[in-house]
């Protein structure tokens, strides 16, 4: 058995009567969670699926999904994440290409049009998990593994994880078992008063989870929270009302929220006294505007500590240490903190591949045990700088550049300028086709509550004063919100489709 499975079995056995998951304001115990984990595990054993077997799970922010994930972790199996929120055609196309020996899902997901028929033709078995940890059983029509061309196992892979699909169709990335264990171990060692090798025990406090478990941030949260022996308040998805209510009821010290959620929280005007339990908010998954951090400090006196990571890195690789945040933020404003122990970084020129001097911008490369082969530099798609004190700054994505008549426009640079406008709550900039220049930047804008829509010519003048001429968007659209991924990131492919006609 591995470190993760040993720790999991230990923590599940400590106190069956203690609470562990609150869902829809109903508490479920460690005993109920263990019973469901064991029930799913027994069904996997009956199908002959053990260590290294590929286990497909339709993952939702529900207690039964957490139990299914933990059953796979307990058997050192390879989890294959499936997003049931995908449209019918894309879900079935995804399932058809996976060639899985088993799929675990709720009754409603097996009941979707054509899903059972597709799995039956493939020879895939099905395990039905009942909501609220109410048991598990083999699907009547999918009670055995019959396919002769299924991919049964990936022993070295912990999870085949779907990316968020921010820039297009989500893709599945295999995360090596050793990489994820290294990443989780590093994260546990970053906790105050805890070491990864400590024996399992239950801890006080309740964590909040509103981010989707289908993505690495949510999955990472579930595993580290359970292994730490902490309780969690599980939400189907983020909403300001649900977040606010959970904060008031559970009085947590540290919570997580993505930048888009932080903007919504600020706009909601939550009373300061309702958030007085918080000592910090963690934020990741997307670039964090320093203005958001400053506003939380000014209004609530709550630090927002940024993190940096990606699905490919098996989680975060850099974060702010809360103990140094208040002292260092004024000096290192905009940084995502310092690298985790064991992670190395360098910044190189995109054209020459030469390492740039401290503080200069280039493309970030990383080397760590959980990335690639653990020995070679791996190039990211992020523009970054690394200062002389080891603080990392993420400037935006290098692969989203808009080539406007030979000039390179980075959308994140334009977004940063638009966010300074007093009427704009959030901006998204994309490249749209142009008959003469190839592509030009266009902006979709969401206004602050009560703000009047600025004149487009005035907006262009606002950007022009702060940017190079070729960076100025050629058009603006005002909307209540943009299409988003489940992680609340703007779905850039769908945003581009908002500008369907080429620019004249």
pLDDT of residue 393 exceeding 50: yes
Which range is least confidently modeled, 49-63, 201-215, 261-275, 486-500?
Answer: 486-500
pLDDT of residue 168 exceeding 60: no
Which of residues 318 and 68 earns the better pLDDT score?
68
CA–CA dist 111, 84 (Å, integer)? 12
Place of tokens 């196992």: 153
| Contacts of residue 54, Cβ cutoff 8 Å, sequence gap at least 6 | 77, 78, 80, 100, 101, 151, 152, 153, 154, 160
| pLDDT of amino acid 170 | 62
| pLDDT of amino acid 86 | 80
Encoding tokens for residue 222? 């579930």
> In the chain, count of helices (H) and strands (E)?
15, 25
Q: Considering all CA atoms of the chain, what is the largest pairwise distance in Å, rounded to the nearest integer?
A: 69
Answer whether 411's CB lies under 8 Å from 444's CB.
Answer: no
Average pLDDT over residues 175-184: 79
The model's pTM: 0.79
| pLDDT of amino acid 390 | 92
Residue ranges covered by each domain of the chain? 3-169, 238-397, 402-496
17 forms beta bridges with none
Cα→Cα distances 210→235, 269, 493, Å: 5, 20, 24
CA–CA dist 441, 436 (Å, integer)? 13
Which of residues 143 and 185 earns the better pLDDT score?
143
CA–CA dist 230, 227 (Å, integer)? 8
Q: Which of 286, 129, 310, 127 is nearest to 215 (CA)?
A: 310
Average pLDDT over residues 8-13: 94
| pLDDT of amino acid 194 | 67
Which of residues 292 and 163 earns the better pLDDT score?
292
pLDDT of residue 164 exceeding 70: no
CA–CA dist 291, 298 (Å, integer)? 10
> What SS3 state is found at 242?
helix
For residue range 261-272, what is the model confidence (pLDDT) as tens digits?
A: 898 899 899 999
Encoding tokens for residue 267? 């706009």
Which CB contacts under 8 angstroms, 24+ apart, belong to 406-410?
Answer: 407/468, 407/470, 409/441, 409/470, 409/471, 410/383
Average pLDDT over residues 257-261: 86
DSSP letter string, 192-205:
TT--TTSPP---SS
Residue 219 parent element (H or E)? helix 216-227
Query: Does 402-496 match 3-169 at the fold level?
Result: no
| pLDDT of amino acid 85 | 83
Instruction: Write the CATH number of the domain with boundaries 238-397.
Output: 3.40.50.12780
Q: What is the CA radius of gyration of the chain?
A: 23
| pLDDT of amino acid 407 | 81
For residue range 290-333, what is the model confidence (pLDDT) as tens digits?
A: 999 999 999 999 999 988 887 777 677 888 988 899 999 999 99
CA–CA dist 78, 93 (Å, integer)? 21
Average pLDDT over residues 477-494: 85
Angle between helices 63-74 and 3-12 (to 10 degrees): 130
Within 99-165, where are the H helices?
Answer: 107-110, 115-122
pLDDT range class, residue 504, cuts 50, 70, 90: very low
CA–CA dist 120, 141 (Å, integer)? 7
| Contacts of residue 67, Cβ cutoff 8 Å, sequence gap at least 6 | 33, 36, 37, 40, 129, 133
CA–CA dist 95, 88 (Å, integer)? 11
DSSP letter string, 150-166:
---B-TTEEEEEEP--S
CATH architecture of 3-169: 3-Layer(aba) Sandwich (3.40)
pLDDT of residue 136 exceeding 50: yes
pLDDT of residue 496 exceeding 90: no
Q: Top-level CATH class of 402-496?
A: alpha beta
The per-residue pLDDT of the chain, averaged, comes to 89
Average pLDDT over residues 96-101: 94
CA–CA dist 393, 385 (Å, integer)? 5
For residue range 413-460, what is the model confidence (pLDDT) as tens digits?
A: 899 999 999 999 999 999 888 877 888 999 999 999 889 999 999 999
| pLDDT of amino acid 196 | 66
pLDDT of residue 191 exceeding 90: no
Encoding tokens for residue 328? 């260092």
Q: Residue 446 half-sphere exposure, CB side, CA atoms within 13 Å?
A: 15
CA–CA dist 475, 503 (Å, integer)? 9
CA–CA dist 260, 134 (Å, integer)? 35
pLDDT of residue 167 exceeding 60: no
């Amino acid at each position: 058995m591995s470190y993760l499975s040993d720790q999991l079995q230990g923590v599940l056995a400590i106190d069956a009567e203690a609470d562990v998951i609150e869902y829809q304001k109903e508490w479920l115990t460690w005993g109920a969670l263990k019973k469901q984990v064991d029930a799913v595990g027994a069904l996997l054993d009956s199908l002959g699926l053990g260590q290294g077997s590929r286990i497909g799970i339709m993952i939702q922010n529900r207690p039964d999904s957490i139990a299914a994930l933990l059953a796979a972790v307990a058997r050192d199996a390879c989890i294959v994440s499936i997003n049931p929120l995908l449209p019918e055609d894309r879900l079935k196309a995804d399932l058809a290409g996976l060639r899985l020996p088993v799929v675990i899902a709720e009754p409603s997901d097996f009941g979707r049009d054509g899903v059972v028929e597709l799995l039956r033709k493939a020879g895939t078995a099905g395990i039905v998990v009942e909501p609220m940890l109410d048991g598990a059983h083999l699907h009547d029509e999918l009670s055995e593994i019959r396919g002769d061309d299924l991919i049964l196992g990936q022993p070295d892979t912990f999870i085949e994880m779907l990316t968020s699909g921010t820039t297009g169709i989500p893709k599945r990335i295999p995360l090596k078992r050793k990489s994820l264990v290294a990443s989780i171990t590093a994260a546990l060692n970053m906790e105050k008063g805890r070491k990864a090798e400590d024996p399992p025990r239950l801890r006080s406090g309740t964590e909040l989870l509103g981010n989707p478990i289908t993505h690495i941030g949510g999955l990472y949260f579930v595993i580290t929270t359970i292994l730490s022996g902490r309780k969690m308040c599980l939400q189907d998805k983020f909403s300001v009302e649900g977040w606010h209510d959970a904060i008031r009821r559970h009085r947590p010290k540290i919570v997580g929220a993505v930048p888009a959620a932080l903007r919504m929280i600020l706009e909601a005007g939550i009373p300061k006294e309702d958030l007085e339990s918080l000592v910090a908010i963690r934020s990741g998954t997307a670039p964090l505007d320093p203005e958001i951090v400053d506003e939380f400090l000014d209004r609530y006196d709550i630090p927002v500590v940024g993190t940096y990571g990606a699905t490919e890195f098996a989680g975060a690789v850099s974060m702010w240490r809360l103990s140094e945040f208040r002292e260092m933020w004024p000096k290192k404003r905009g940084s995502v903190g310092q690298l985790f122990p064991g992670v190395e970084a360098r910044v190189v020129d995109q054209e020459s591949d030469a390492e740039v001097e401290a503080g200069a911008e280039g493309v970030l490369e990383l080397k760590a045990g959980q990335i690639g082969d653990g020995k070679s530099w791996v190039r990211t798609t992020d523009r970054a700088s690394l200062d002389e004190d080891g603080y990392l700054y993420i400037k935006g994505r290098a692969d989203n550049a808009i080539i406007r008549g030979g000039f390179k426009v980075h959308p994140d640079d334009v977004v940063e300028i638009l966010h300074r406008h007093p009427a704009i709550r959030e901006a998204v900039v994309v490249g749209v086709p142009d008959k003469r220049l190839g592509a030009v930047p266009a902006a979709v804008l969401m206004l602050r509550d009560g703000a009047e829509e600025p004149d487009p010519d005035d907006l262009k003048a606002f950007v022009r004063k702060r940017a190079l001429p070729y960076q100025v968007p050629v058009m603006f659209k005002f909307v209540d919100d943009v299409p988003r991924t489940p992680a609340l990131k703007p779905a850039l492919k769908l945003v581009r489709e908002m500008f369907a006609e080429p620019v004249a």
